[in-house]
Chain A
């Protein structure tokens, strides 16, 4: 199964959990650092009330939330926010 299938399900669920207007990106952690950009584009269609941005997790203006499918995300800038059957949601450490 393509990871985009998982992302469709995760981002649909995340749309009701992540605060509206927040910046969000979507990744498959195992693909770091060359993340498949189609995942955040896919999430963009599922989360019209959020601001979907490219997966630049180490940039200064990093996204507030990360949707991760398949593997857990290991990044010091993020902590687990919610675990769902479809994947995990991470929140930026302030």
Chain B
């Protein structure tokens, strides 16, 4: 139980981010989700920093540092807070916090039903991803056992199959849970999938103020996670951080908050999975093509680039196994047709592609289709990137069937967000 509570404590660690005006305007669910992302980043950073300076992880040290960081950021936030809200701004805030879509009760009921179904699926372990047992979990268990991220473990030839060159954020979040509980809870790791899923839903609901979009997101991701057996793997947190980045640049008007939240989402995404790097590149390209805001784009991408650069330098310095150079491998053009057909089969999600068809139709009939351009381009780019990487094997059939349902969750999420954006007017941003 305490292992699961550790995940619930993450928003407390990152609550300092509430001082951003744009975050203050979000509803409670959205604010908790944003704080959760910040908390995950803080906790992972603390654990990584302790390893860098060779201080062994202990419950008291880790919790004390996290509490000090949270308290300091809250105090700084209180000092920097705005003067009392005027009546007009209060009304605006209330309006912002109360989604206006009709059928709100029905939407909430639908969200509850989806939550019950996905939690049932998670708790009976049938949605568990093999990767949790093959390397995400074992890495966390070993890191915790060693009291830190050690080169001895990462460079051990016996652990080469555990992807030592993979970024560390998810194992470190699992270590946080382990630190609180003093043991690794596999079921808590699996159940954390629901938190990341509904964190993503809360982010979209809060920033788009569209209950229907939230229900579509919840249904799509819950179904996608179930078909892809994604529980406990890297995809649930990856999708959560990617959602934060996309909704920040799509729905938030405040330039400062947009940069901070998108940068946070991108930085966490690249440190969660290799695919996070592809996503970050897609976001940068989309921002430059659609918005033509070079400076803002660089500010958003800078933390992710710095973190990933530092991690790759470490990996290269110690000659750890990694797969970032996959794009430089030879391309097998003869495999293009087979790759496309197999990818299409995986993308159908055993439901005739309905998860894609619904948001595409919603975009097609929406009144403000141009608002969907940014997330739509991200969806296209990340889908294209998946195809590009798959044609680097002469016969990628097994690889596609075993990974594409999870990998394609990124473009699918971007597409659902695009459908929400298409139903919002440009002057109705957070």
Q: Which A residues are within 8 Å of any B CB, using their own CB? A: 2, 4, 8, 37-38, 41-42, 44-45, 48-49, 51-54
A44 and B145 within 8 A (CB): no
Q: Does B184 contact A (CB under 8 A)?
A: yes
Residues of A close to B133: CB separation below 8 A: 4, 8, 38, 41-42, 45
Residues of A close to B161: CB separation below 8 A: 37, 41, 54
Say how far A3's CB is from chain B's closest CB, in angstroms: 11
A54 and B130 within 8 A (CB): no
Say how far B280's CB is from chain A's closest CB, in angstroms: 28
Say how far A46's CB is from chain B's closest CB, in angstroms: 8
Known: A8-B133, A41-B134. A53 touches B158 (CB 8 A): yes
A44 and B130 within 8 A (CB): no
Say how far A5's CB is from chain B's closest CB, in angstroms: 9
B138 and A41 within 8 A (CB): yes
For chain B, the count of residues having a C-beta within 8 Å of the partner chain is 16
Residues of B close to A4: CB separation below 8 A: 130, 133
Q: Which B residues are within 8 Å of any A CB, using their own CB? A: 130, 133-135, 137-138, 141-142, 144-145, 158-159, 161-162, 184, 186
Residues of B close to A54: CB separation below 8 A: 158, 161
Say how far B138's CB is from chain A's closest CB, in angstroms: 3
Residues of B close to A48: CB separation below 8 A: 141-142, 144-145
Can you add 6 more A-B contacts, CB < 8 Å, to A4-B133, A42-B133, A45-B133?
A41-B138, A42-B138, A44-B159, A45-B186, A48-B144, A48-B145
Say how far A1's CB is from chain B's closest CB, in angstroms: 11
Known: A45-B137, A45-B138. A51 touches B158 (CB 8 A): yes
B130 and A38 within 8 A (CB): yes
Residues of A close to B137: CB separation below 8 A: 45
Residues of A close to B158: CB separation below 8 A: 51-54
Complex CA gap A83/B275 in Å reads: 43
Say how far A81's CB is from chain B's closest CB, in angstroms: 21
A–B complex contacts, Cβ < 8 Å, 17 sampled: A4-B130, A4-B133, A8-B133, A41-B133, A41-B138, A41-B161, A41-B162, A42-B134, A44-B138, A44-B142, A44-B159, A45-B137, A45-B141, A45-B184, A45-B186, A48-B145, A49-B145
Say how far A59's CB is from chain B's closest CB, in angstroms: 12
Complex CA gap A51/B161 in Å reads: 14
A41's nearest neighbour on chain B, judged by CB, is B134
